Chain A
């Protein structure tokens, strides 16, 4: 199974900050990586596919990069709506696996 490791597990930041979350795969997954945002008590929301393709309707402050085993999600200017938990997920092969999550908290 491909293990997905996110860092940090928790991040404290302020509105307007630039935030970067890292996701590492235990083996190469090419660019088959997605990012999701999950607000408390809600279902996950799809943000990015193929490591860097922004989903339609997702604000441009979100961006993704990377390939192979190392990936990043960047929020260029954190907004109040962005205080949430973020997950990466590989879909290179089965079993599909998620990272453990990164909780973005208010500083």
Chain B
């Protein structure tokens, strides 16, 4: 059974930093690209970032480019995102999501974690 468990969400001041993690199980983690998708309170879904299975390729939304850094540790089945220079508009539930097809970086997200809340406020 595929499981994705996010952690690290917290209340942080504008300009601050936070690191989110997602621990995966139930599939060969290194074979699949992984992504973060966020949802601001009462709003729709917004893709944030994707990393290839090897970790060699990363893709970012313009809204987080230069502030967020995506990484993965395939030995620990863990996906992470380092979020710097946080803004009020980064407030959202952050979901970890698995890309459906092996070996590609673009596909539907077939499994999602339960989400972790990030609140940026003074």
Contact = CB atoms under 8 A, between A and B. Distances in A.
Bound pair (A, B): yes
Interface residues of A, number: 26
Contacts of A91: 106-108
Interface string B85-122: 00000000001000010000011111111110000000
A100 B106 contact: no
Contact of A97 (B47, B95, B112): B47
Contacts of A89: 45, 47, 108-109
Contact of B109 (A32, A46, A92, A93): A46
Interface string A71-107: 0000000000000000101011111111111000000
A44 B45 contact: yes
Q: Interface of chain A, helix or strand or loop or mixed? A: loop
Interface string A29-61: 000101010100011111011100001000000
B107 A43 contact: no
Given A93-B106, A94-B106, A95-B62, A46 B111 contact: yes
Interface of A: 32, 34, 36, 38, 42-46, 48-50, 55, 87, 89, 91-101
Given A46-B108, A95-B59, 8 more contacts: A34-B108, A44-B45, A89-B45, A95-B62, A98-B47, A99-B44, A100-B44, A101-B45
